[in-house]
Amino acid sequence: FPEMLSNPKLELVQGALNVVMKQNVTLSCLSESGSPPVRYTLFRHNQQVSALNRSDLTPALFTLTISSASDVGEYKCKAECNSSSAGKYSNSLNFTLIEPISKPVLSSPTSQAKKGQNVTLSCLSENGSLPITYLFFKGTQNISPQKTMQKREAAVIFLFIDSLSDFGTYKCKANNSFPNNTKYSDGFNFTLAEERSHSQPLILSLGLILLLLIIGFALAIPFFIIPLYKASE
C-alpha cells in the first residue's frame, strides 16, 4: 500500500530571514515519508511562486531573489502525491526586508551652555529598519552605553558641563541589522554662554539716574531758569 504523505518541512538553507534588496535565498521543502513521485509547490501569501516534481524522497530546492518589498512576508510549501487526494502543508517562514539607516542627526535644545549647567543631546536616524542602536562620543571617546531604540525616536543622553574641557566636539553613530551600515553624525559643539558681570546692573542704574536728571534739568529751564534770568535784567 502507498505510504501516507507526511507534512513537509520548509527550511532556509541559504541566506537569512532578515534580507536586503537583491539578496538570493534558498528554501528546502521535504516530506520525509510518502510514496513518490511528490510535487512540491511554494506559496507566498497564498499565491503560487514555483512548483517542482521529485521522483524520490529528496528535497525540492527553491531559489528566490528578493527584488522588491512584495517578495518578503510569509512562505509555505505544499506536498502532493498521486495516491493522496489532498496535499499537505508545511510550516511557514517569514522574511523581513531590512533597509540601511540614514545619517543620524545630533542635536540639543540649546547650543550655548555655561559651567555647572545640565544639557541634553539627541541622536536620530530618520530612515532605516528598526531597531537602531546609537552610541555617543566626545572626540573619539565613548561617553554613553549603547542605546537600542525599538521605535522611531531619538536616543537621548544627559550631560553636566563641569569644565571648559566639556565644550569639545560631540558626535553619535547609528547602526542596525543591515550589514556594514554604520553611520556617524556631524559634530556638535556647545558654545560658552557669556556670564553677565555683577557690576552691569549698577552701571545701568547709574546711567538711568543720570539720564533722568538731564531730562529733569531740561524740563526745568522754561519754568525756573528763564524767569529768574528775566527778573534779574
pLDDT one-digit tens code per residue, 71-82: 999 999 999 987
Q: Please check whether the domain covering 9-97 is classified as CATH 2.60.40.1510.
A: no
- Written as one letter, the residue type at 231 is A
Whether the model pTM is above 0.95: no
Q: What's the gap between Cα 45 and its chain centre?
A: 29
Among candidates 130, 119, 140, which has minimal Cα distance to 184?
A: 140
Q: In the chain, pLDDT over 70 holds for what percent of residues?
A: 88
3-state helix, strand, coil in the chain (%, to 5): 20, 40, 40
For residue 199, the model assigns a pLDDT of 46
**For the chain, where do the domains classified as CATH 2.60.40.10 start and end?**
9-97, 105-192
Structural contact between residues 61 and 13, judged by C-beta atoms closer than 8 angstroms: yes
pLDDT tens series, the chain, 233 aa: 567 889 999 999 999 999 999 999 999 999 998 888 999 999 999 999 999 999 998 999 999 999 988 999 999 999 998 755 678 999 999 999 999 999 999 999 998 888 889 999 999 999 999 999 999 999 999 999 999 999 999 999 999 998 888 888 999 999 999 988 999 999 999 988 875 544 455 666 777 888 887 887 777 777 665 666 555 65
Cα(135)–Cα(233) distance, integer angstroms: 88
Task: Using the CB atoms, write b or e for 63-92: b if 16+ within 10 Å.
Answer: ebebeeeebbeebbbbbbbeebeebbebee
Cα(75)–Cα(42) distance, integer angstroms: 7
| CATH superfamily of the 105-192 domain | Immunoglobulins (2.60.40.10)
Q: Is 125 exposed, middle or buried (0-12, 13-18, 19+ CB in 10 A)?
A: buried
For residue 1, the model assigns a pLDDT of 58
Which cell numbers in the block locate residue 64? 528566490
User: Residue 190: which residues within 8 A CB-CB, separation 6 or more?
Assistant: 108, 110, 111, 112, 113, 119, 161, 166, 167, 170
For residue 197, the model assigns a pLDDT of 47
Structural contact between residues 181 and 100, judged by C-beta atoms closer than 8 angstroms: yes
